[in-house]
Chain A
Amino acid sequence: MKLNSIDARGRSCPEPALITKKALQGNPEALEVLVDNMTARENVTRFAKNSGYNVEVIQKGSDYILNLKK
């Protein structure tokens, strides 16, 4: 699968959600966000859902891949 991706690992609150917000301004069909803690995972997921995206979470080691799709 090919899609746009942002790496928000290690970023403290609210940066992961903020860079997701900026990435979603282009209204992409899909976006992959990489985070490394539960708080970021929850914040990005909440923001994405409020913005009309479905979120699928895949855990990879200590990281989470959040797949955002319209």
Chain B
Amino acid sequence: MKEKRGIILTGIIVGIIAVLLTKLGNPGNMGFCIACFIRDTAGALGLHSAGVVQYARPEIIGLVLGAFLMSIAGKEFYARGGSAPFSRFILGFTVMIGALMFLGCPLRMMLRIAGGDLNAIIGLVGFAVGIYLGIIFLNKGFSLKRTYNLPKFEGYLFPIVIIALLVVFLATPSLLIFSQEGPGSLHAPVLISLAAGLIVGALAQKTRLCTVGGIRDLILFKDWHLISGFIAIIATALIGNILLGQFKAGFTGQPVAHTDGLWNFLGMALAGFGSVLLGGCPLRQLILASEGNIDSVITVLGLTFGAAFAHNFKLASSANGPTTRGQIAVIIGFIVVLAIAYFNTEKSADIKIKEDVEIEA
């Protein structure tokens, strides 16, 4: 229990901050949503032109800088990469297609549950099924192979790019495109969003908070560590929403959500499946990208590209429900992720154990 204190405390703080961000202006049940916020940021940069979802979310900037600073402070920052980068890009892309079918990353799924959105419970079941699919391949020997050390400066580039975005946002916001209506126009005050991101980024880096990892480790290792953070987020946000009068149980009339159960299920199943193969949920990818993991930087680019595609080609759902194109994209997504899983699973996956090695310690 003592070991779980950090992760549970982090979950509680994430839950409180998420509820407060909603209270202070963020869209409903969207205190944090890595998929939505990356999508909004892609829109602010003009990578897509869906007028209702364009805003350079300071939460994303804060998450990156918080995780970066914490990894430097904890001497955990180091540049590495080279583990099947383009497969990771494609997986990131596909996870985003699934998340925008459902309308939220796994973290927002939890916040939607905590807000009483019952559609998100169906999403959670799909998410768990997707994770289970990924675990089948992991157990059969799936691997995107190892990473290698890279020059330190390579690792600094992603935080530097994010700092550049922050400078543009604060100094010349007219360069960016901001929604005048819709979810993109709803946001908490900039400095509060930034601070919220910084705190959660630092804590998530320290505790390895990961929504996919929670369910995965429970199934794979019967390990309750990460999922205790998951449960703490839902429980805290639930209590917070009730206290602030933001809780409303039901399927219909939920903020930034639709009621198509099958596609909520399949969207989150795709996001879960892809995320397990990546080794972590979109939040975790963003945190890893900030501590020098270039494979995760590539994954974040895949998420960004996927978000832009999803809106340029009308694959993303809206409150009216999924689009036919989006449904086709999710089905193609499953085929793509299955192919990546299959072709990276070694038949002779038994690990090589060197016997009787001399070690010099």
Q: Mark A residues whose CB is within 8 Å of B.
A: 1-7, 9-15, 17-19, 21-23, 32, 37-39, 42, 46-47, 50, 58, 60, 62, 65
Contact across chains for A6 and B352 when beta carbons are under 8 A apart: yes
Q: Find A60's partner among B148, B149, B361 (CB 8 Å cutoff).
A: B361
Chief secondary structure at chain A's binding surface: mixed
> Can you name the residue of chain B whose Cβ is closest to the Cβ of A65?
B361
Q: Mark B residues whose CB is within 8 Å of A.
A: 3, 74, 76, 78, 80, 83, 138-139, 143-149, 208, 210, 213, 216-217, 220-223, 225, 279-280, 295, 350-359, 361
What's the Cα separation between A12 and B279 when bound, in Å? 6
What's the Cα separation between A38 and B280 when bound, in Å? 16
Q: Could you name 30 residue pairs across A and B whose Cβ atoms are closer than 8 Å?
A: A2-B357, A3-B356, A4-B354, A4-B356, A4-B357, A5-B359, A6-B352, A10-B145, A10-B146, A10-B147, A10-B148, A11-B143, A12-B83, A12-B144, A12-B279, A13-B213, A13-B279, A14-B138, A14-B217, A14-B220, A17-B221, A23-B353, A32-B357, A37-B78, A38-B76, A39-B208, A42-B208, A46-B3, A46-B225, A62-B149
Contact across chains for A22 and B351 when beta carbons are under 8 A apart: yes
Cβ of A65: which chain B residues have Cβ within 8 Å of it? 359, 361
Q: Find A9's partner among B76, B146, B221, B359 (CB 8 Å cutoff).
A: B146
Cβ of B208: which chain A residues have Cβ within 8 Å of it? 13, 39, 42
Q: Find A2's partner among B146, B213, B221, B356 (CB 8 Å cutoff).
A: B356
What's the Cα separation between A21 and B147 when bound, in Å? 21
What's the Cα separation between A56 and B142 when bound, in Å? 28
Contact across chains for B138 and A18 when beta carbons are under 8 A apart: yes
Contact across chains for B351 and A23 when beta carbons are under 8 A apart: yes
What's the Cα separation between A46 and B226 when bound, in Å? 11
Chain A proximity of B129: nearest CB distance (Å)? 18
What's the Cα separation between A5 and B355 when bound, in Å? 6
Residue among A3, A7, A39 having the largest count of chain B Cβ atoms under 10 Å: A39
